[in-house]
Each structure stands twice: as C-alpha cells, then as structure tokens.
Structure 1
Amino acid sequence: MTYHVRVMDMPSEERPRERLLHYGARTLSTAELLAILMGTGQGPGKLSAVGLGQLILQELSRDQRDALDTLRTVSAHDLMQISGVGAAKATTILAAIELGRRVLQSKPADRAVVDDPAVAAAALSADLMWQSQERFAVLLLDIKHRILGIRVITIGTATETLAHPRDIFREVIRHGAVRCIVAHNHPSGNLEPSADDLSLTQQLLEGAKILGIPVLDHLILGNGDFRSLRQSTNLWQEEE
C-alpha cells in the first residue's frame, strides 16, 4: 500500500525540500532556501532551519540594509557572528552564492557573438557587476564580434580606478583581438558617467582610429544594471 503525504502535513523543517521537489525552487522564500542549505532543525529548544534562515536575513537587514544586497558580499566571518551559524553553514551559504553567481553570469557558449550591449554586460558581469572596488576591463572580440576573452586591466579603490589607453590597447593587440568593448563598474550602483569616464572614452575613440581597432562601446555596470555610453552619449557620432 502506498501512502500519499501532503506537503502541508510534513514537519515544518522538512517542507522546504519537499516543496522544492514538488513545485520548484522559485516557490520558496529566501529563508526557506537558506534552510535547505543548512539542513534540518537545530535540535530541541533551538531554532528550526527555517527559523535560522529568517534570523540570518533579519541580521543582514540591520540598519535598513537590503538583506539580499548584503548577502551578495557577505563574508564567512560576518555569517559566523550570527547565533547558530558555524563554519560549516557559513561556507555552505557562500559556496551556494558563488555557484549561483557563476551560473547566472556564464556565457551560453564559448565565443558568444556580441550583438547587443546586454550581451556584453552579461559577459562582463562576473568580473565587474558586484565588486566592492572599481575595476576596468576590456572585452576582446574577433572581426565577427565573437568573444575571445576578458581582461581586467586595473583594480582601484572603492570610489575610483585608473586605466590608460596604452594599457587597454596593449591587451587588445597582445591577444589578437580586432574589436573591443571597454567597461568598468560603479560600486555605488550609480550608472551616471563621470567627467573622467567621458574623457577616457574620447581618448580611446581617438586611439582606435589611429590603430584601426574599433572600440564598440564603453559600459558602466553596477547594482544589477548597466549603461551603454554608445547609446547614451554622442561620443561615437562626434568621432565619425
């Protein structure tokens, strides 16, 4: 005889796993997803895994912070300051975050064709999107706009980075690329280009004409979004 058990009849600490199997991961709350990573309940008199997940989110949202934004950059040390989270649970959570980031930001195939700024932004996200320091990178392309590679040129402080056209074009030439897209991140999430951003872009466009290596765009990434300077400024038209 087969007994069918409804999900709602299961003990609370077991429901997240069963609900994921029955209905998919998207139906679970963030606390329940954390509960699955941390295993079963914590024992008599202690929080269940779901309760611990809720506690983690509560601690991460202190000082009016967004818990998921904090979770993106949380450290093992920070997690281990929360009651009930030891080294094993902290490392499991961090591993899951990194795995999710890599899956989300991976290219669908090698030598993907960049035919839209969003494709370039997705390819660059792993190196730029959620970094706490400014980074400047170049996306290397062949003549058909297929991705040959990505190179991070410089890493700056929390508020600025330095990149020189000489260093950028050196990487492009060294790797045999004939097209490129440059990009950097704004850790603040403000995608408005600075005067320095616009000045560097203009220098790159001037150098591109001399070297015969088109710079197709300059992207600014941050907080899950991006801005294309080619689409939002007149710099490319001015160089024609």
Structure 2
Amino acid sequence: MSLSPHPTYKRILVVVMTLMLCASSLSNAALGDRNLSRGSRGPEVAELQKRLSMLGYVIGSIDGIYGRQTEARVRLFQKEHGLGADGIAGTRTIRELKRLTGESVTVGGTAIGYKNSDINLLARLVSAEAKGEPYRGQIAVASVVLNRIQSSSFPNTIPDVIYQPGAFSPVADGSIWNEPVPSAYNAVYEALHGTDPAYGALFFFNPAKTSNNYIWSRPQIIQIGKHIFCR
C-alpha cells in the first residue's frame, strides 16, 4: 500500500536493502555486441539469459550455455519486438535487449536515468503490492512510482521514492524481497515507456485494508482491481 511520507524507519534499513539489491544487479560490461548463438558459452551468454529473464522470458538455470531453451526465448523475444526471429542474438537483438534493460528511458517527455537494479527493485515492489491484481493494475502501481519522480513533492529516483520512509508497506514488512512474478517486469517496462492506467496518480490503497485518514483524503482518480489510485 502507498502511504504518505512518514519518517519512522531507520536509515540503516535503507542502507542494508540497497546493498542487498546492488549485490544482485546485472553487469552492463558483460554483454558485448558479438553474435551469440546455439553452442555459445560464457559470461556474455549468462548476461543474455539474465536480461531475457528480467523481461519475463524465463530461461530456467542461468548457466552461460546457449542451448535450445535460450534459443527459443531469443526467438520469442525477437518475434515480439519486430526482429528477425532466427534465434541468433546478433547486433540488433542485443541492442534492443540492452535498450530495454539499460541505462535510461524517456517518461512523459523527460529523460529519467535508471539502472538494472532500479528495474529489479520496481518489479519487486509491483509484485509485492499487486501480484494478485489485474495486469493493468500492476502497470498502474509502477506508474505511481514514476509519477512521484516527476513530482517536486517526492524524490527523483526510483530507489529514493520506494525507500522514502513510510512510503510503501512492502519495504516495512520485507515482502519487497520476495521473488517478483514475471508479469511485474513486463508491467515495469510498459510504465517506463509511458503507459499510465493511473492517469498521473501519486498514491494508491486498498480500501478494505486501510483506515488512514490522509490516504482517504486524497482526490480519487480510478479504481483498478482492489486498489484505488489518487492524487
């Protein structure tokens, strides 16, 4: 649940969580531009597998071996992104994969820098907050975070928004560290590329689970599933 900022949590929690997240982030340097195909092996293949998994093209074991399953996921990625579906991770495929899991994206006409760890963190939040909600509602939760970045009333990075004391209950109860559902990554990418079913909302809540006066006082925009999104 999204709440109003309330400085009640210790900074040490933020530091520990940030270090844990950084430890699981991906390496941009590991994935080059050379062609990868059936039979390829090594850290570049492992990085390819990680990035595909981030986007919901689940590989299974990240073993650094370009086998049949990796080839199949590459073909699917290529087909869904308008690339030649030959199962070979060539220059165009790798460039598109890097773009979707890379360093920056434009949201609402403004360039927002983000890292792979930011994507992972936002997907974890979406999953913890809305894994049982409609897919549109998952995109809306991600959009709330991005809308806060655009607002002068909130911090201007994904981690700072999510870790703002008292902002999101999964940070407080630890559920943000559960493994995200695959749809959460897809929802994050749609939100990053401008889809906002919440129409600029800065807050959301489940009316059956909160009696917080502040959140109930916010102007309501739309209800998606069990969540009400508001300004």
TM-score by length of 2: 0.25
Larger RCO (CA within 8 A; separation ≥ 6): 2
Q: Give the structure with higher Rg (CA).
A: 1
